[in-house]
Structure 1
C-alpha cells in the first residue's frame, strides 16, 4: 500500500488532539494522542520533544488567540487593559489548560515574545525595572484566576436553611449571573490604579 496523501502525524495535529483531550479531561497522555490519531505512540515522539514539548505547543496554541496588537494601543494603560481582556478571552476558551501550563516554565518562543513586548511597553512608559515583573505577574494571576472563575459553576455558594446566611443570599442575588466578569473588572481596575500610582509623574 502506498503512503497516505495526508500524514497521520504532524505538530499541528498533535497539538489539536492534545488540546481536545485537555478540554475534555483536564490532561493528556502521549498514548491517548496516538490512539486518537490512529498512530503508534513511538511515532508521536518523532515530531515533538516528549510531553513537555507538547505542553509548550499547547501554550503557544492557546496564547496565539491573544491579540498582540493590543500592546500597540496608546497610551500604555489602555494597551495593558486591552491585552488583559484579550488574554482573558484566550484562556477562558480553554480553562482546563491553566493548571497544566502553570506547572511548567514558559519556553515557547512566541509566548516569550509577547512577554517581551509587555515588558517593553512598561519600561517605555517609565516604570522602574523592579516594578515590571510584579505588575505583569499580578495581571497574569488575575487573568488566569478569572478564566477559571468564568468556567466554574454558576452557583459556587449553595445557601441552605441548615446554615442561615441571609446577607450572603442577598449579595448573591444582587450580583446576578455576571459576577465573574464583574469580579475581573474590579480586579483589573484595582491593578491599573496601583500601576498608575507606581509610575513616575510626567
Structure 2
C-alpha cells in the first residue's frame, strides 16, 4: 500500500500560511499552524525551529511581498520617505501581525537590507553617528503607528460635540482621507525637522 502523501512544505508557504492565520484573527502557534497546513507539528519543526523562527519568516515574507528594496542613487531624504511609506503600506495591510513582529529582534536579511540602506543614507548625509540609530527608531515608530492608523475605524474619536475635539471631528475628514492626510503631514514634519537638525549640525 502506498504511503499517504503529505503537503510539501516550503519556507515561503509556511510564512504565507502563518500570515493568513494571524490576519484571520485565529490563534497562532506551531500546533495551530501545523493544522492549517495539514501537517504534523514534527513535520513543521523539520523546517523551522519554533514560533520565533516562524515570526521572523513572516517578517521577511511581508517585506518580500511588499517589494521593499530601496532604489539606488536617492538622496537621504528620499530614502527616508521611501522607507516610511513602504513600511506604512505593509503594516496597514497586516495590523494583527504587528504585535508579533515588534516583540522579536529583526534578523531577516531582506528587512535588515532596507534598514541598512536607511542608516547608510543618514550617515552619508553626515548626521551624527550617535543620532542615526535613534532617528531610525523614530522613523520606525512613525511608520508602525501610521500603519495602524490606516487600519483604524473611520471615526477614531467619539468626543462630545460641545468640546473642541468634538467640533474638530465633526468638521474634519474621516477614515482613509484623514489617515492619509495625517501621514503626509507627518512625513513633511519629520523631513523638515531632520533637514533643520542636519543644517544646525553642519554649523557647529
| Same fold, judged at TM 0.5 (above) | yes
Write out per-residue CA displacement over residues 91-143 of structure 1, whole angstroms, 9 at most, x where no aligned residue. Answer: 11111111111011111122112211111111111111111111111011001
| Residue in structure 1 matched with residue 68 of structure 2 by the alignment | 67
Alpha carbons of structure 1 residues 165 and 42: separation in structure 2 relative to 1, 3 Å = farther
Map 1:23-172 → 2, pairs under 5 A = 23-25=23-25, 28-64=28-64, 65-70=66-71, 72-159=72-159, 163=160, 165-172=162-169
Equivalent-residue separation in structure 1 for 2:12 and 2:27 (angstroms): 18
Equivalent-residue separation in structure 2 for 1:26 and 1:167 (angstroms): 39
Q: SS in structure 2 opposite 1:25?
A: coil
Q: SS in structure 2 opposite 1:176?
A: coil
Q: What 5-or-longer segments of structure 2 have no aligned partner?
A: none
Q: CA RMSD in A?
A: 2.1
Q: SS in structure 2 opposite 1:96?
A: coil
Q: What 5-or-longer segments of structure 1 have no aligned partner?
A: none
1:59 and 1:111 in contact (8 A); partners too: yes
Alpha carbons of structure 1 residues 28 and 143: separation in structure 2 relative to 1, 3 Å = same
Alpha carbons of structure 1 residues 77 and 26: separation in structure 2 relative to 1, 3 Å = farther
1:73 and 1:79 in contact (8 A); partners too: no
**May I ask how many residue pairs the two structures share in their alignment?**
197
| Residue in structure 2 matched with residue 18 of structure 1 by the alignment | 18
Q: CA deviation at 1:166?
A: 4.0
Equivalent-residue separation in structure 1 for 2:69 and 2:197 (angstroms): 24
1:34 and 1:40 in contact (8 A); partners too: yes
